[in-house]
A and B are shown apart, each in its own frame.
Chain A
Amino acid sequence: MKEIKVLGTGCAKCTKTVEIISAIANELNIDIDIKKETDPEVIMAYGVMSTPAVIINEVNVHSGSIPHREAIESWLRD
């Protein structure tokens, strides 16, 4: 199962990112473990400056915006 973290200090876009990824995973019937990470110390540890950022199995795959649908699908599928 993929472990997904959405990093962000509580902005609207971060919440939206979590919702979109969950919705798409649901559609594709892929089990994921998704959570929002708001602790600035943890965000710093990932070296992320532009939020929302997406971490999948500890790898930073995206930062700075709400990801596109195609991108999310490809992360979930592969």
Chain B
Amino acid sequence: MFEVFTDLASWLVVDIFGLSKTTKLGDALHFFIEDTTKIFFLLLVMIYAIALLRASMNVERVRDYLAGKHKGIGYLLGSSFGAITPFCSCSSIPVFLGFTSAGIPVGITMSFLITSPLINEVAVLLLLSLLGWKFTLLYVVVGMTVGILGGVFLDAIKAERWLQSFAAKALERGQNAPYKVTAKNSDVLSLKERHTFAKEEMLEIFGRVWKWVIIGVGLGSALHGFVPDGWIEEHLGNGQWWSVPSAVLLGIPLYSNATGVIPVMESLIKQGLPIGTTLAFCMSTVAASFPEFILLKQVMQWQLLAVLFVLLLVAFTLIGWIFNFLTPFI
């Protein structure tokens, strides 16, 4: 069903710009046009459709649901909600504090916050259309596993002792008082309300991510057109052990969201970069970023930030190694 975008790109590149697809520029431009038009189309349609379904979902209801849940299932739930609940990364701090003051353990809150940037409907959609369902499934499972195990680990080392004192007090108050459900119960939404929500959501998300798509696909096209065929495969294709930690380290100063990084992933994988190395690089770019850590400093002491940082780096490196090791068997 996506041939129309390939045809559109061919028409523009060959007939309008008069470039041959065998030239580097023509090839890169073709890749760029095909991918951006396809992604823009999918984004608009799918964000609307998904928003229509989840119009009544929000962080307040997730908090009400998670408060007082048993820890064993809490991490899984926290991570699942992280994947499906929309919220702007600029709300991370209020969300963290909202969960904390409801007495939800730090680990469960972090399962939610770690998974959230890694998995969202836009990411899943792009992965499905660019890399296929097997890879998408792999990505989702791995992303949730990082969130869940990260949360379990943080609770195991009693991470709450390193919260800023006002947050620690809020947590204590929350855990000692019985939780009262506070979210407004607007369960029943009319179709018209859902449509309004979905339309706003579509414009909002699209307005936020379109430039990331352009940057991401632009980089992907540059890789596709200008890195000599086989170069990546020859130099990094065997999944040399050091390539994974290097990819993770390289990903830290690069800050992007999942939307921008997925087209780059597509290109890297097509160029022969092993899946594990690619995953490690991309997850590190998306989930470990300095701006986010500076924000978290408002609620966490530096010890906890350092632990979190190392935790993510180790997790992404392990993921890279495991997948590179397993690839021949998949």
**Which residues of A line the B interface, CB within 8 A?**
7-14, 40-41, 43-44, 47-51, 64-65
Contact = CB atoms under 8 A, between A and B. Distances in A.
A65 B295 CA distance: 20
A47 B59 CA distance: 12
A40 B93 contact: yes
B88 A44 contact: no
A21 to B, nearest CB: 18
30 contacts: A7-B94, A9-B90, A9-B91, A9-B94, A9-B295, A10-B90, A13-B88, A40-B97, A40-B298, A40-B299, A43-B93, A43-B97, A44-B94, A44-B166, A47-B101, A47-B182, A48-B94, A49-B60, A49-B63, A49-B91, A49-B94, A49-B95, A49-B98, A50-B59, A50-B87, A50-B91, A50-B95, A51-B91, A51-B94, A64-B58
B interface: dominant SS: helix
B59 A49 contact: yes
A51 B90 contact: yes
A7 B93 CA distance: 12
Contacts of B58: 50, 64
Interface in B25-72: 58-60, 63
B8 interface: no
Contacts of A51: 88, 90-91, 94
Nearest to B59: A49
Contacts of B299: 40
A41 B94 CA distance: 9
A48 B298 CA distance: 16
A73 to B, nearest CB: 18
A43 B298 CA distance: 12
